[in-house]
Amino acid sequence: MGNKTNSTGTEKLNLPALKKIGEGLSKKAESKPFKKFDINAVKHQNSVDKIIKTDSIKQQMHKEQQAHKGLDLVLMGDLTGSMSAYHSILKSKFREICTTLFQLIPNLRIGIIFYLDHGSGDIYITKVQQLTVDVQKLQDFITDTPDGNGGDADEAVEDALHDALVMNWNEINTHSIVLFGDARPHESYECPYQYDYFEIVKNLYQKQVTVNTVYCSSHIDYRRLASLYEVEIGDFSHRVSRLDHPNFFSWIANVTGGVAIGVEQIDDIVDIIKAMAAKDAGKIDELEEEELKLTHRPIPALKHIKERAKQIEEKKKILGIGYKPEK
């Protein structure tokens, strides 16, 4: 096949003709340059991929944290003579408070700080129960902590605030204090430890701790407390000192983004603690529904706390506190 016989009888091989150098390359192939390897483009793409992957991981971690986010609630109370009736209520009603709140609020922890005063001969100035989920430990702490006499008109609120600053807060959780009492703190030069309540409150705010206050006196309309000392949330540009007792409770709540309220009747302290905790956990509507089912009556102060909480959230949005700008 492919061979032919010539006239002499010998076979002649048909070999392919040799091509000249360069004849086998098409003009198209000749004109197409090699693509250059752009190392900078590869590095840029790798950086972009890394950022996307990192952001995705961060978003996933944020979702995980939000899913496990709970409330760290610290009850801070004056146990001097004028407050002994409130302590008795707390002793008898604490399990009720816990039953409601632990069912309502996921990942809840409760801590307690009680305080008296300096130089009064009392056996303690402050007593602290760290944040825990152990209801029996909390109940025992409330029951076993004695009341005191107190000294002058002011009380050791500054010492209790200092204890709150070094509390075992969970970084992920929302941080909330419910402060109940009827007296302001001492100025730093009057405190044996030179605790400066203004600076301590500023540090608490920077740690994202909200201080809600309950002024335990019938001498003021409970709804008016917040308006006694109005200040923007987070505004520590002007130092306060020697405030009147109710004005202090108004200031510390307003400056940390909390709710300030007075007590009409001693028994109201239990419902107010529940409502304050539910507010900071974002569960205030659920609390209202639950209380209506159980007691067939609304919590008297709940409407005011809800309205005040909405006003505070609007302020936070305007000031950009706790809200990330939309991209």
Q: Which domains does the chain have, with CATH numbers?
A: 71-319 (3.40.50.410)
Burial label, 198 (beta-carbon count in 10 A; 0-12, 13-18, 19+): buried
What is the distance, to the nearest Å, from the Cα of residue 250 to the centroid of all Cα atoms in its chain? 21
Radius of gyration of the chain measured on its C-alpha atoms = 36
pTM (two decimals): 0.79
Residue with tokens 């302290």, as numbered in its chain = 269
Among all chains, which residue has been given the structure tokens 């076979």?
Answer: 11
C-alpha distance from residue 147 to each of 8, 14, 178 (Å) = 137, 121, 19
Q: What does the pLDDT profile of the chain (327 residues) look like in tens digits?
A: 555 445 455 555 555 555 555 555 444 445 555 566 677 777 777 877 777 766 666 555 445 555 568 999 999 999 999 899 999 999 999 999 999 999 999 999 999 999 999 988 889 999 999 999 999 999 999 999 999 987 678 999 999 999 999 999 999 999 999 999 999 999 999 999 999 999 999 999 999 999 999 999 878 888 899 999 999 999 999 999 999 999 999 999 999 999 999 998 898 999 999 999 999 999 999 999 988 887 777 777 888 999 999 999 999 999 888 754 444
Distances, alpha carbon 90 to alpha carbons 87, 94, 142, 265, 273, in Å: 5, 5, 8, 14, 10
Identify the H or E element spanning 120.
none
Spatial separation of the C-alpha atoms in residues 327 and 325, rounded to whole Å: 6
CA distance 260 to 282: 17
| Inter-CA distances, 302 with 223, 261, 287, Å | 11, 11, 9
φ/ψ of 253, rounded to 5, equals -70, -50
How many C-beta atoms lie closer than 10 Å to residue 106's C-beta? 13
Cα distances (angstroms) measured from residue 279 to each of 42, 71, 228, 273 = 51, 10, 22, 10
